[in-house]
Amino acid sequence: MKDRLLCPHCGKIVEKYRNPFPTVDIIIQMDSGIVLIQRKHFPYGWALPGGFVDYGESLEAAAAREAREETSLDVELVSQLGAYSNSDRDPRQHTITVVFVARARGKPKASDDAADIGIFDGESLPEQLAFDHGRILQDYFEIWDQKLRPFTLQNNKRF
């Protein structure tokens, strides 16, 4: 039977578990605002750079990799904003994301899954945001100055 998964050591039937997929999103701070990408693939809309964590990869390394792949920017991670886990945050499957705040310099360039790229402030955000990124950005703009700025990641690394 295809639905049965057998233990390779003892041959007993193993319960099949469905777990959420770990992802990261990055709020990249530039001098003139934050970087958003316009997604090339479903779900469409403007989004924070981000994506799936590869097996064996730390959350921090995944955030730096995704930022570089989608924006061509090397980032310095400065803080975690939080984790977001609503089962409907991604229409494709249940994901859990850890959101990082990062700094970068240079000129962002759309790459990989990004069809376009832009820099926005809290007053100029696009209307169509993918996933739950509207909520994430609302949290960011509400609490960044008050709570997060004093708390930075230990051993800030430039990736």
Task: Give DSSP secondary structure letters for 80-140.
Answer: EEEEE--TTSSTTS-EEEEEEEEE--S-----TTEEEEEEE-TTS--S-B-TTHHHHHHHH
Read off φ and ψ for residue 12, nearest 5 degrees: -75, 155
Query: Counting every residue, how long is the chain?
Result: 159
List beta partners, residue 83. 98
Q: Is the pTM of this model over 0.75?
A: yes
- Please count the CA atoms within 13 angstroms of the CA of 159 that sit on its side-chain side: 22
Strands 46-47 and 5-6: unpaired
- pLDDT (tens digit, 0 to 9) for every residue of the chain, 159 residues total? 456 788 888 988 887 778 999 999 999 999 999 999 999 999 999 999 999 999 999 999 999 999 999 999 999 999 999 999 999 999 999 999 999 999 998 999 999 889 999 999 988 999 999 999 999 999 999 887 565 554 445 544 444
